[in-house]
Structure 1
Amino acid sequence: MSHPRIAVIGLGYVGLPLAVAIARHFPTTGFDIHPGRIAELVSGHDRTGEVEATTLRSSTLRLTSDPEKLRGADIFIVTVPTPVDADNKPDLTPLLKACRTVGTALSTGAIVVFESTVYPGLTEEICGPALALASGAVCGRDFFLGYSPERINPGDRDHTVDRIVKVVAGQTRQVTDTLAAVYGSITSGGVHRASSIRVAEAAKVIENAQRDINIAFINEVTMICQRLGISVQDVLETSATKWNFLNFKPGLVGGHCIGVDPFYLAECAKALGHDPEIILAGRRINDGMSAFIAGRIDEVLGGKPSQILVLGLTFKENVPDLRNTKVVDVVTALQAKGHEVKVHDAFADPDEAMRAYEIPLLARFDEGDYDCVIGAVPHRPYVEFTEETFATLVRPGGLVADIKGMWRSITLPDGLRRWQL
């Protein structure tokens, strides 16, 4: 495999940037099951905002939704989602569908690499047999497995796939060497060879579980500070003056990784007879923040049905990513308490918001007469608010609720009240 042909399966936030980066060095095919997504990419438009139009149009990446076009690839890289179901159990449906698609295109000696978050053992114990069933080939003889966990962060222009350290692990040493050569050619961050696929899988799943637990601690501290009548933002600012303080921030924990990966680790632990107390406690705290925030805002509003504007719906700032956003839960909780809630997001696709959550997005946010404005996501246009902005949005005596602390330095117009974590 001195010059392998590579196929990337799944062209979302992870797969597309990876495919474009690989296509600079190897003949690469990008596959997605949605023809509409392929049509957009062919036209040069990436709705995720991860790849610029000029970069996309100039790329040699071949785009297709036809599984037949995958035949002949030497390396398949699977980047499909690994969500959880309504009971927070791993939902392997997208992964198994990808295995069936890849299995029908496998040729002798091919390598199948998974970047999707899984629990330790899943690649070899579930994906390998699924590929074997679909292909009629023998795993470890006719085709081989690899794992290289994705680490990119949507909207992060510093830690892109061509700059980060890539972890690689193969079913054999030769497979590991091949993956190290391929990934090493696309990133300036270098490659780390994990000692086994299971080690690489475990490393990935604990990276996000660790962050989830740290945020859960700060969220619990936030709940205590609220009862003390002090701002956790002030507390954290003070604590951060110590050199070794870990400065995590409170708030809503959603998205495709941090709010999901710990459940994969917990599922693995339970299967081994271990009760993952800390992992699941962190999840309970973070999943409960939406109700806590909605409850506190309702209290400050005196429990009186109010006109509320929520600014931001995506799971993080300055990206259109709506996956597993917990702002939806804040909106739902406030509506359940009798409030009329309108939502604006400066980056989200209105059609996607309606399709995924049945939430209509306002076309503009710069005028209104609201009892309460909630800063849920610190998108750039909201961070830039001034005293005059609030004067045009909030009626006299109204409330400015700042979940993310983005308006702490702004002096509010006389008569307006402020609430923050």
Structure 2
Amino acid sequence: MSEKPSITIIGLGYVGLPLAVHLAKHFKVTGFDINEERITELHNGHDRTSEISSPELRNATLHLTTSVEDLTGHDIHIITVPTPVDKNNAPNLDPIRKASEMVGKIIQPGNIIVYESTVYPGVTEDICGPILEEKSGLKCGKDFYLGYSPERINPGDREHTVDVITKIVAGQNQSVSEQLTNVYGTMNGGKIFVAKNIKTAEAAKVIENAQRDINIAFVNEIAIIFQNLGISVYDVLEAAGTKWNFLNFQPGLVGGHCIGVDPYYLAHCATTFGHEPKVILSGRSTNESMSNAVSTAIHQTLKAKSPETSRPRTLILGLTFKEDVPDLRNTKITDIIAELENLGHMIDVHDPMADPKEAEAFFKINLKHSLDTEEPYDCIIGAVSHEGYLNLTNISIEQLVKPGGLIADMKGMWRKRDFGARYSYWCL
């Protein structure tokens, strides 16, 4: 393989697009996605994920395509497709299987196929490798080689971008590891950790998010405890955070494509070997129950202040899974909506970051286009701490709520403010 290998990136979402753009600064790169609308948007300089700016996208020396034929003749193929779970929270490997089948049809002797998708240990070699062999007619480890370099994209994070963070790499043999070290190291200034083997790299990735899930579960559990004591968990965390080794995890709904999903991959792997993953699944259970705890607390607080209101009008501020990102995947705000509707609430939703078409297509939610309202609400819920909501003035917030109504602050973003006696205020 040449010192300047040509590269394909399969899947141009939150992970694949930034990787493709930064690698294209150093190598010949072809970016592939099956979504024609996505490719058209990128050609027009628009990234709906907001990870890459229009100027950066327009200046990228990146070939974008939906044609499988355009993937032939390259040296390294990097697969960055999603790895979700099904309705039973079991790993859904269909996207990675299909991507492997597609790549298997076009690979050539000497190619390296690298997976960045989060999987449990063994998927790359035991599942993907045989698929590539079957579709290519080539022998894995002899005619082509496998690699793994787990993605570490944090949506909306402008500091820990793919070109500056440490990348883990692992190859099927030492030579492959060295080639991947050169490719990724050229992009990120040589910040490379070479894992012992592919399974070790797969395991490292899946525990990164499982660890965060467990820590958030602890904070969510104490948040519920302190609610019953009439204490805000945010006040408690602020005090405890003055100790030098206290871990700064925040309570809330755990959605998105990573933290709320990856622990199930690790749990699945454990059960195949007869081990019951009690801590991992306990954390998942705690975080999955948080939406019910929050919606119940908000409803009870409102009923205590306005017992005569049987069908409260409620405005939810925020729908995406995380602040200042447009990503709606696995958002848990929809659980809050469903539970409040079951309790009799009439719900409106506003989110300037979310794509209205996606909200309608995915959840049948018609987003409000503005915060203008002819009649104030019985309750507003600050569900996602977008910068625009953080910066709302007290007057702007109060104009949305009836006198005596409830301002519910799930994220604690307004907890240092005084809304006076005319309004009730609830904070997690």
Do Structure 1 and Structure 2 share a fold, with TM-score over 0.5?
Answer: yes
- Which residue number in structure 1 is paired with residue 419 of structure 2? 412
Question: 3-state SS of the aligned residue for 2:112?
Answer: strand
CA drift of 1:180 comes to 0.3
Aligned equivalent of 1:393? 400
- 1:325 has 2:331 as partner: yes
Separation of aligned partners in 2, 1:74 and 1:358? 43
Q: Give, in angstroms, the shift of residue 414 of structure 1.
A: 3.4
Q: CA RMSD in A?
A: 0.9
Q: How many residues align?
A: 421
Aligned ranges for residues 123-272 of structure 1 at < 5 Å?
A: 123-188=124-189, 190-272=191-273
Deviations 1:8-63 (Å, cap 9, x if unpaired)? 00000110000000000000000000111111111111111111111111111000
Report how far residue 189 of structure 1 moved: 6.2
So what's the TM-score if we normalise by structure 1?
A: 0.99
Residue ranges of structure 1 left out of the alignment (5+ in a row): none
Q: Does 1:308 align with 2:314?
A: yes
Question: When the two structures are superposed, what TM-score results if normalisation uses the length of structure 2?
Answer: 0.97
Q: Equivalent residue for 1:341?
A: 347
Structure 1 counterpart of 2:381, from 374, 379, 386? 374
**Distance of 2:417 and 2:240 partners within structure 1:** 22
Could you tell me how far apart the structure 1 residues matched to 2:416 and 2:190 are?
37
User: One-letter code of the match for 2:395?
Assistant: E
SS of aligned partner of 2:399: helix
List per-residue Cα deviations over 1:271-305 (Å, max 9, x = no partner): 01110000000000001101110111111111732
Residue 343 of structure 1 aligns with an amino acid whose one-letter code is V
- Consecutive unaligned residues of structure 2, counting only runs of 5 or more, are none
Question: Partner of 1:185: helix, strand, or coil?
Answer: helix
Partner SS, residue 187 of structure 2? coil
| Residue identity in the other structure for 2:30 | T
8 Å Cα contact 2:149-2:170 kept in structure 1: yes
- Give 1:171 shift: 0.4
SS of the equivalent of 1:51 reads: coil
In 2, are the aligned partners of 1:41 and 1:56 still within 8 Å (CA)?
yes
- CA deviations 1:236-263 (Å, max 9, x no partner) are 1111111111111000000110000000
Tell me, in whole angstroms, the C-alpha distance in 2 between the residues paired with 1:343 and 1:131.
45
Between the aligned partners of 2:383 and 2:175, the Cα distance in structure 1 is 48
Kept in 1: contact 2:314–2:380 (CA 8 A): yes
Q: State the distance in 2 between where 1:335 and 1:22 align.
A: 47
Deviation at 1:418, TM superposition (A): 0.4
Residue type matched to 2:49 in 1? T
Counterpart position of 1:74: 75
1:61 match? 62
User: How do 1:9-28 and structure 2 match up within 5 A?
Assistant: 9-28=10-29
Alpha-carbon contact 1:31-1:66 (below 8 Å) kept: yes
User: In structure 2, what residue type is equivalent to 1:412?
Assistant: F
